[in-house]
Amino acid sequence: MAENVIIIGSGPAGWSAAIYAARAELRPLLFEGAITEQNRLQGTLPLGQLALTTEVENYAGFPAGDLAPFLQSAIEAERLAYMNVHEGKHAVTGPELMELMRQQAANFGTRIVTDDVVEVDLGRRPFVVRTLEGNTHEAHALIVATGARANYLGLPSEDAFKNRGVSACAVCDGALPRFRNKPLFVVGGGDSAVEEATYLTKYASMVHLVHRRDKLRASMIMQERALNNPKIHIEWNQALAEVLGNDKEGVTGVRLASTSGGADRELAASGVFLAIGHTPNTAFLNRQVELTEKGYIRWTMPHRTATSVEGVFAAGDVADDYYRQAITSSGTGCMAALDAERWLATQGVH
Ligand code: NAP
């Protein structure tokens, strides 16, 4: 029997869609992704990008406080056992927030499968979904909430210090104590890099913007912002060659290589932020859904989550290269569930 709705993805968009779909008695089936080495390396393990961050201070409803008793009362003991619940009174962490959302979706009857969707057939009704483990499922509606992954350079040293000074999200991590009053490096020359560098000047002693060319890609207004900020120093024609550090302190410096000839330089740093773009996780769709020029799923109706294929809805970062926040992803996840429910009703399915 075909499912009413299959949700693909386990970030805030996927869980919020599941909570709403489950409460609408659609009995959603959600694929949270597989736990594989490939997913670990590319940052696409279950629970999404938030599971790769530390404190989340800007998700409404989670102020700083002693959350440990709440987490212990809210989440299944079995999952808590390996969850590393934080101590102290700082805000909820990304992994905790995602476990809470997952639990909330499970509480309302969402069926959760720890597997990747590797292929879909949207040319047939009901839609067909195939998984990494080789299983096939059918669904009348699909909600795609597979998110995006930050691009990294692929340096082994960069991988070794992820979450210990290497980050791809200044807004998520910039305010952490380890970055305060220390030199920081941002890699990239686009609007994101300038925005991240500007944001980080609030905390850093100096922000070095490392760009591989002698001209920024960022818009004029953003370029001026960077050039006029006394706390931003642009490292023109430079590439990040290596992140330096040790087990105890995490990142302690960088080695920069010139892209225009010249010797490598080693400079002190407590953090390195990559801002070289994101890649939406859409490969499994095999272009059966219309994408934007940047490769994100195109929402085809204003203020709705409908896509170019009737019955397929998209939510969260896979369709949003602009806001990219946990709370906006949750919002569009909710919208996708409501859109799917209403569409299924018009089809006489539910
Ligand atoms: P982007 O515009 O694609 O810029 C990526 C930057 O990273 C480029 O400067 C590129 O260098 C550099 N880069 C890419 N791969 C690299 C590599 N392997 N090694 C070194 N450098 C590398 O991406 P984005 O800045 O994330 O912006 C994405 C979109 O969002 C843009 O349309 C942007 O305008 C928009 N955005 C807008 C705002 C705003 O208006 N406030 C803020 C953020 C983002 P090259 O220049 O040499 O190619």
Residue 265 in this model has a pLDDT that exceeds 90: yes
Q: Which of 116, 173, 317, 320 is catalytic?
A: 173
Q: Domain check: are 287 and 212 in the same one?
A: no
Ligand 1 atom closest to the CA of 321, numbered from 1: 30
Rounded-to-integer distance, Cα 195 and Cα 345, Å: 43
Residue 171 in this model has a pLDDT that exceeds 80: no
Least confident of 3-12, 191-200, 261-270, 310-319: 191-200
Rounded-to-integer distance, Cα 14 and Cα 29, Å: 11
CATH of residue 205's domain is 3.50.50.60
For the segment 6-21, the average pLDDT, to the nearest whole number, is 98
Q: Domain check: are 172 and 286 in the same one?
A: no
Tell me phi and psi for residue 4, to 5 degrees: -65, -55
Please count the other Cβ atoms lying within 10 Å of the Cβ belonging to residue 330: 24
Check if 198 has its Cβ closer than 6 Å to any atom of ligand 1. Answer: no
What pLDDT, on a 0 to 100 scale, did the predictor assign at position 56?
85
Crossing angle for the helix pair 220-228 and 191-200, to the nearest 10 degrees: 30
Pick the residue with more confidence: 67 or 310? Answer: 310
Binned at pLDDT 50, 70 and 90, residue 89 comes out as: confident
What pLDDT, on a 0 to 100 scale, did the predictor assign at position 153?
96
What pLDDT, on a 0 to 100 scale, did the predictor assign at position 272?
97
How distant, in Å, are the alpha carbons of 72, 151, 168, 171, 253 from that of 43? 27, 9, 11, 18, 24
Q: Domain check: are 139 and 10 in the same one?
A: yes
Q: Which of 274, 304, 326 is the last residue of a domain?
A: 274
For the segment 180-191, the average pLDDT, to the nearest whole number, is 96
Q: Domain check: are 103 and 230 in the same one?
A: no
Q: Domain check: are 209 and 132 in the same one?
A: no
Ligand 1 atom closest to the CA of 322, numbered from 1: 30
Q: Which of 245, 274, 303 is the last residue of a domain?
A: 274
What pLDDT, on a 0 to 100 scale, did the predictor assign at position 169?
83
Q: Domain check: are 34 and 140 in the same one?
A: yes
Mean pLDDT score of the chain: 94
Summarised one tens digit per residue, pLDDT across range 128-145 is 999 999 999 999 999 999
Least confident of 63-72, 242-251, 267-276: 63-72
Q: Domain check: are 176 and 144 in the same one?
A: no
What pLDDT, on a 0 to 100 scale, did the predictor assign at position 52?
75
* Percentage above 90 pLDDT, the chain: 83
Q: Domain check: are 10 and 117 in the same one?
A: yes
Q: Which of 274, 298, 315 is the last residue of a domain?
A: 274
Q: Domain check: are 103 and 131 in the same one?
A: yes
Binned at pLDDT 50, 70 and 90, residue 55 comes out as: confident
Active site residue 172: yes
Summarised one tens digit per residue, pLDDT across range 283-329 is 999 999 999 999 999 999 999 999 999 999 999 999 999 998 999 99
What pLDDT, on a 0 to 100 scale, did the predictor assign at position 88?
79
Report which protein residue has its CA nearest ligand 1's atom 31: 191
pTM of the predicted model over 0.95: no
What pLDDT, on a 0 to 100 scale, did the predictor assign at position 102?
98
Task: Strands of the chain (E only): list them.
Answer: 3-8, 29-31, 111-113, 117-121, 127-131, 136-144, 148-150, 166-167, 183-187, 206-210, 232-235, 238-246, 250-258, 265-268, 271-274, 278-280, 312-314
Summarised one tens digit per residue, pLDDT across range 190-243 is 988 998 999 999 999 999 999 999 999 999 999 999 999 999 999 999 999 999
Binned at pLDDT 50, 70 and 90, residue 337 comes out as: very high
What pLDDT, on a 0 to 100 scale, did the predictor assign at position 126?
98
Q: Domain check: are 142 and 12 in the same one?
A: yes
Rounded-to-integer distance, Cα 192 and Cα 116, Å: 30
What pLDDT, on a 0 to 100 scale, did the predictor assign at position 170?
86
Residue 92 in this model has a pLDDT that exceeds 80: yes
Check if 280 has its Cβ closer than 6 Å to any atom of ligand 1. Answer: no
Tell me phi and psi for residue 331, to 5 degrees: -60, -45
Q: Domain check: are 12 and 138 in the same one?
A: yes
- The arrangement of strands across the sheet holding 271-274 comes to 166-167, 271-274, 183-187, 206-210, 232-235
3-state secondary structure of 269: coil
Written as one letter, the residue type at 170 is: A
Q: Domain check: are 9 and 126 in the same one?
A: yes
What pLDDT, on a 0 to 100 scale, did the predictor assign at position 263?
95
Residue 87 in this model has a pLDDT that exceeds 90: no
Pocket test for ligand 1, best of 153, 214, 217, 279 (most atoms within 8 A of CB): 217
Check if 193 has its Cβ closer than 6 Å to any atom of ligand 1. Answer: yes
For the segment 329-334, the average pLDDT, to the nearest whole number, is 98
Given a contact cutoff of 8 angstroms between Cβ atoms, the answer to whether 193 and 186 are in contact is yes
Ligand 1 atom closest to the CA of 191, numbered from 1: 25
Going by their DSSP bridges, the two strands 117-121 and 127-131 should be labelled as: antiparallel
For the segment 105-130, the average pLDDT, to the nearest whole number, is 98
What pLDDT, on a 0 to 100 scale, did the predictor assign at position 327?
97
Active site residue 334: no
Q: Structurally, how many domains does the chain consist of?
A: 2
Pocket test for ligand 1, best of 196, 208, 212 (most atoms within 8 A of CB): 212
Range of the domain at 228: 156-274
